[in-house]
Amino acid sequence: MVNETVLLPSEAITKPHAENSATEYWSQHLRSLFAPLLKATGTYTESEQASHLQFLDEQIAPNLGPVPTEKTKYTTPSSLVGSPIDPSLNLTSSGKVKVRFDFDVIEPAEPSADDPFSEKVSRELYHHLASIVGADTRWLDGLMSALYLSPSETETALAKMPPGIAIPPSSVGFDLDGPKRTLKAYIPGVRKAFATGRPSSEVIFDALRGLEPLGSELTPGLNIIAEYLANCKNDAMLPLVGIDCVDPTKHKDARVKCYLHTSSNTFAVVRDVLTLGGRLNDETTLKRVEALRSIWPLLLNEPEGENIADDNWSKPQRFSKTGYSGMQYTMEITPGKPIPDSKVYIPLFQYAETPEIAEKNFESILTKLGHEWGSSGKYRDAMKEVFGGEFYGQTYATFTYTKERGAYMTSYFAKPIRFDEAGLPSKFGLRDE
């Protein structure tokens, strides 16, 4: 491992670590990232920006753990550049550019004997944040009840789980929509699978079908995904589920999100997953695949498109030990809608040698899709506004297409806080293991 030291955000803390609490550290780190990000979108009023920054100060900074050291380990994609926070920009063909972020629930340095997986910690944090933003917790409570472990299951999971496996208790997300903050929750099914001996997909499907209210209206979409996983010829698996913490009886677009993963990165496999093996053959899904194919060379940093002409070609990945190999997907289901919406997550850092290359490719993608932030240079301007030309990490890009919103992209990136002894970031800002 590179002998790394912490580099504090230049515009933030000036006093030694010992004189600053972890909350102060993270508050100023978050402000150094989100203050220019919120401003750069042109979406939020000054009062909305101030409100979101205050929320970050008071509710997020206290929950990001201790000041990082060279031994600090995080499991979010942003941990690839040494940060526990995972910010993103959502850009659609219609609608304003929005800021989002998520972070893993940080486990105590020494978890308690009665809460070794920090599930009680997660419950408390979710309920606290839900009370602050006025979130609906019925789906959340149902999911935690179904996927978190009983005392006997905890003992079984401790005995069965391989040593060194890193599964965060859960992850917390927020969409910043004007003055509103929408809570999202992400809970893995893997621990329950170890405890029960059942596949994680089964325990997740059972949990989602049992949600109240309207869990029964999720069943048709869930059944399509379950049938695909039971018969697909690739290694697609379902380790994680996410939900919008809103009242599904009032918000008709309330989603449950099944997160799939494949080790393959060929377009043939991506197409197979996005269409659930051809089960999704409606006009919107087919247009989604067609649009994705048009930008696929740029997503994999093959702008000339020679290698990628073959849908079965697999591009070698740059890092094999990150835990973020292959491709990730979500199958999003809303009550009463039998056909899931599919989305793909592409790890840009696996294919682009530098963040600058990834940024240029993403800008070209936006231009190709007719998004003003590409053709006008606003995307690049926003990155410059946020990072000031300093080294940063472009981690993931997501793509989908819906009839209502058109082409839908999310750009994930992170501000590094870890550097080697020479004061330079490691390759692509990634931590060398």
Does residue 213 have a cis peptide bond before it, meaning omega lies within 30 degrees of 0?
A: yes
How far the first Cα of the chain sits from its last, in Å, is 5
- Return the closest-CA partner of residue 346 out of 254, 411, 404, 390: 411
β-partners of residue 87 are 101
166 has a pLDDT exceeding 60: yes
pLDDT of residue 423: 46
pLDDT over 50 (residue 1): no
Say if residue 433's pLDDT is above 50. Answer: no
The confidence score (pLDDT) of residue 417 equals: 78
How much is the pLDDT for 171? 97
Question: Which region among 154-168, 182-196, 281-295, 394-408 has the lowest average model confidence (pLDDT)?
Answer: 154-168
d(CA 273, CA 225): 10
| pLDDT tens per residue across span 55-71 | 999 999 999 999 887 77
The residues, any chain, with a CB within 8 Å of residue 305's CB and separated by 6 or more, are 297
Q: How far apart are CA 18 and CA 167, in angstroms?
A: 30
pLDDT at 250: 96
Task: Give the bridge partners for 332, in sequence order.
Answer: 257, 341
Residue 358 tokens, joined: 């990834």
Which band of pLDDT confidence, cut at 50, 70 and 90, is reported for residue 428?
low
Concatenating the DSSP letter of every residue in 243-288 gives EE-S-TTT-TT--EEEEEEES---HHHHHHHHTTTTT--SHHHHHH
Structure tokens at 66: 């201790």
What pLDDT shows up at residue 258?
98
Handedness of CA 41, 387, 398, 219 (dihedral sign): negative
Are the CB atoms for 80 and 393 separated by under 8 Å?
yes
CB contact set of 42 (below 8 Å; sequence gap of 6+): 97
Per-residue pLDDT band at 6 (split at 50, 70, 90): very low
Q: Which long-range contacts (CB under 8 A, 24 or more apart) does 372-379 make?
A: 373/91, 373/97, 379/91, 379/411
Q: What is the mean pLDDT of the chain?
A: 90
Strand boundaries in 253-405, DSSP class E: 256-262, 327-333, 341-347, 393-402
Q: How many CB atoms lie within 10 A of CB 250?
A: 8
> How far lies 245's CA from each of 164, 185, 253, 365, in Å?
31, 7, 11, 31
150: number of Cβ within 10 Å:
10
Residue type, 15: K
Ranges of beta strands (E only) in 105-255 are 171-177, 180-188, 237-244
pLDDT beyond 70 at 420 = no
* Statement: residue 8 has pLDDT above 70: no
Q: Name the pLDDT band for 301 (thresholds 50, 70, 90).
A: very high
- Alpha-carbon Rg for the chain, nearest whole angstrom, is 21
pLDDT bin (cut points 50, 70, 90) of residue 366 is very high
Report the alpha-carbon distance of residue 116 to residue 153 in Å, rounded: 12
Instruction: Provide mean pLDDT across the span 392-417.
Output: 94
Name the pLDDT band for 3 (thresholds 50, 70, 90): very low
User: Which pLDDT score is estimated for 406?
Assistant: 95
Residue 421 confidence class, pLDDT cut points 50, 70, 90: low
pLDDT of residue 422: 53
Sign of CA dihedral 168, 139, 55, 93: positive
User: pLDDT digits over 91-149, tens only?
Assistant: 998 889 999 999 999 998 888 999 999 999 999 999 999 999 999 999 999 999 999 99
What pLDDT shows up at residue 7? Answer: 31
Contact in structure between 413 and 394 (CB atoms under 8 Å): yes
Q: What local confidence, expressed as pLDDT, does residue 20 receive?
A: 53
Q: Which of the 8 DSSP states describes residue 332?
A: E
